[in-house]
Structure 1
Amino acid sequence: MSEPDPVPLSTGRARALVARRGAEPVAWSVGGVPLLWTADAAWWGRTAPVLFPVVGWSQGGHVRVDGIRRPMPVHGFAPAAEFRVVGRATDRVRLELTDGAETRDVYPFGFRLTVDWRLRPDRLAVVLTVANPGDRPLPYAVGLHPGFRWPLAGAPRAGHRVRFERPERAEVPVIAPGGLFSARRRPVPIDAEGVLALDDALFAGDALCFLDTASRRVRFENGRGQAILVDQPDFPHVALWSRPGAPFLSVESWTGHGDPEGFAGELAERPSIRLLAPGARVHHRARWLWEEGSGP
């Protein structure tokens, strides 16, 4: 059975397509310039899925809830889930995912995850809303996983860089086998102003995960004065991920991250997991802005 067609969005010079699977934008362009990469299973079969109820890898591919080990895919089940379209207009769409028999087998909680995408002439904005209709705290993490084109807007691949709005630590956790976070750190060549020059060697050892960043804005620049600004006021972690030679760079926004090596606790005890009170809801906002000719 084929998947439903993506929902088209348009306003001014901007165009986007949002798929129901993973509440995922599969295309975004401004003035005919494509900014999201086209998924290619040879590199990575997705474009920009929403992550929930965990971010990153879980120990042994499982989480523990009420003392029971339950299978949990990397980045949770939302990337593979079929969301319902519950509202739409020319420039926006609202998608929703709620608990059911399949989710309760692996994540025995009531929840409602609403994803609001809104297209503007120079940006694509999103609000992720997590609601807890249940009677006990809801452990969760959410994330965004966009793959932007690298090279961007036809610039040479060399010369691209990522610029954090504030200085950041010039080291990141070493990712251990199984995608787990080790206590070891590896250096990254980020300078005192928060600028990281991009090259394929950076990603030979997996993603660069900047945890608890000072920055809430990260700019992916192509060296020609053009950039995508990732503005993520409600996400404390940034991950940069690609594969050597791949035609994309993921600038990921996370509220949580993967298990540390040796973690054997309950999901609610996972480092950086959040607990949402019964009856409560919370919003996580982000936006991607296309800066055309903005200068370095």
Structure 2
Amino acid sequence: MSERITITAGDGTTAVIATHGAEPVSWHMGGTEYLWSGDPAHWDRHAPWLFPVVGASANGAVTVGGRAYPMAQHGFARDLPFTVTERTDDTVTLRLEEGSATLPHYPFPFRLDITARVGPGILDFEIWIENTGPTPLPYALGFHPAFPWPFAGGERSADGGYRVDFQNPERPLVPEVGEGGLLLRTERAIPLEGATLPLDPALFTEALVLRDAASEWMRFTAPDGSAIRLEVSDFPHLAVWTKPTAPFLSLECWTGHADWAGYAGELARRDSQRLLAPKGRARHGVTLSHEAPVSREAATA
């Protein structure tokens, strides 16, 4: 049974982390919950971690040494229990290592440590991946948090005033997604205006995948200017996703992405998959923060 661990900042900001998947299930401040509820009528997760692959694998499997290993979409980490290795009032570190639940799918020794820290208005994560085996470790890592839409008034509609703002202008083209969640080499246009994407539920027949993004942060911005911001360290790909009728929006960061349709090669040569040398360690970081609306007085000062 999953344990839920509450960590608390000095200003009363709290987060709750489940040992199942090391998944954040609550981020609460100022009387408001900012993580999606996990309502199974729409999507029964909150903010899962994705490892050792991101997205779908061709034929539902990955190939290692010429042998096929079954691999679920987004890997297995989100569905396995982690062990708590350190804990303080405002931080917790959880660990996943290879074992009987992972080796039939991914024949590699590894150590995945995720440290969550809560501070005034922030929820910060430091992720370390260690190759504890004798051969190179192919991996991808992703974070898939979702937030209520709307979260600060207004409506979830094309004219509701919600948008995603990026640090830098991004290409207004994203890969089409084919059968089984595999990426296609064709692209479709999205109404990205420089660094601003006006939100419309009708956009989301599939995830909007920004491969090799120019930005290291993006924010989900409400009509009043308040925002939920996701800032990353060493996550080159960003994505925005929801379901057309679901009252949430997911801002995602990935080191890798789904297979291209038709790929039949080794996992180590999968596009965007990382290779970590034996005994090597890799660090990745994600920070969620809440930005208050700018008052009219401050804006004109």
- Bin of the TM-score, shorter chain as denominator length: over 0.9
Q: Is the 8 A contact 1:34 1:153 kept in 2?
A: no
Per-residue CA distance 1:34-86 (angstroms, 9 max, x = gap): 10010011211100011100000000111111111111011000010100111
Instruction: Say if 1:33 and 1:153, in contact at 8 Å, map to a contact too.
Output: no
1:105-156 CA distance string (max 9 Å, x none): 1100000000000000110000111000100000000010001111013343
Which amino acid in the other structure matches residue 63 of structure 1? V
Aligned to 1:166: 168
Which residue number corresponds to residue 199 of structure 2?
Answer: 198
Shift of 1:33: 1.2
The one-letter amino acid paired with 1:246 is A
Report the equivalent of 1:40. Answer: 39
d(CA) in 2 for partners of 1:72, 1:5: 26
CA distance in 2, matches of 1:292, 1:63: 44
Determine helix, strand or coil for the equivalent of 1:103: coil
Identity %: 46
Q: What is the Cα deviation at residue 102 of structure 1?
A: 2.2
Q: Aligned residue for 2:7?
A: 9
> In the TM superposition, what is the alpha-carbon distance from 1:101 to its structure 2 partner?
2.2
Which residues of 2 match residues 1-296 of structure 1 at below 5 A? 3-11=1-9, 12-157=11-156, 158-192=160-194, 194-204=195-205, 206-294=206-294
Query: Which whole-Å CA distance do the structure 2 matches of 1:61 and 1:208 have between them?
Result: 22
Q: Unpaired segments of 5 or more residues in structure 1?
A: none
Distance 1:160 1:268 in 2: 39
Distance 2:294 2:115 in 1: 28
4+ long deviations beyond 4 Å: none
What's the CA shift string for 1:251-294, capped at 9, x where partnerless? 00100000001000000010000000001101000100100124
Structure 1 counterpart of 2:261, one-letter code: E
Alpha-carbon distance in 2 for matches of 1:286, 1:254: 11
Structure 1 residue matching 2:102: 3-state secondary structure: helix
Number of matched pairs: 292
Q: Is the 8 A contact 1:140 1:273 kept in 2?
A: yes
Inter-partner Cα distance in structure 1 for 2:17 and 2:286? 16
Structure 2 residue identity aligned to 1:93:
V
3-state SS of paired residue (1:246): coil
Q: Distance in 2 between matches of 1:143 and 1:79?
A: 10
Cα RMSD for the two superposed structures: 1.1
Give the 3-state SS of the residue equivalent to 1:258 in structure 2.
Answer: coil
Residue type matched to 1:161 in 2? R
Deviations 1:159-210 (A, max 9, x none): 1100011011001000001100000000000002x10000111102x10000
TM-score normalised by length of structure 2? 0.95
Read off the aligned partner of 2:72 and give its amino acid letter. P
TM-score using structure 1 length: 0.96
In structure 2, the residue corresponding to 1:106 is in which secondary structure?
coil
Matched-pair contact (CA < 8 Å) for 1:172–1:209: yes
Once residues 96 and 281 of structure 1 are traced to their aligned partners in structure 2, the CA distance between those partners, rounded to angstroms, is 14
Query: What's the secondary structure of 1:228's corresponding residue?
Result: strand
Distance 1:96 1:177, change over 3 A: same
1:5 Cα deviation from its structure 2 partner: 3.0
User: Structure 1: how far apart are the matches of 2:223 and 2:187?
Assistant: 29
